[in-house]
Amino acid sequence: MGRFGVPELVLILFILLLLFGASKLPEIARSLGQSIKEFKKSMSSKEDKSKEEEKK
């Protein structure tokens, strides 16, 4: 499966607008961004712990 092009992204955005409405999309995007941020934070924390254990 290849990368998404502009037409595919526009179609996905249109479907999301139909499903959730324009007022909910910023809220959904914000929560998705916070989830990604928290995931990256926990992954870096896990890497730091594994590096500390290797040093011992």
Can you give the residue ranges of every domain in the chain? 6-55
> Contact, 25 vs 16, CB < 8 A?
yes
Determine the Cα angle at 32 with ends 28 and 47, to 5°. Answer: 170
Report the pLDDT value the prediction gives residue 35, as an integer from 0 to 100: 95
Report the pLDDT value the prediction gives residue 1, as an integer from 0 to 100: 59
Which residue in 42, 12, 43 sits closest to 29, CA to CA?
A: 12
What's the residue count for the chain?
Answer: 56
Q: Is 51 helix (H, G, I), strand (E, B) or coil?
A: helix
pLDDT (tens digit, 0 to 9) for every residue of the chain, 56 residues total? 578 799 998 999 899 889 988 888 889 889 999 999 999 999 888 777 777 777 76
Report the pLDDT value the prediction gives residue 56, as an integer from 0 to 100: 63
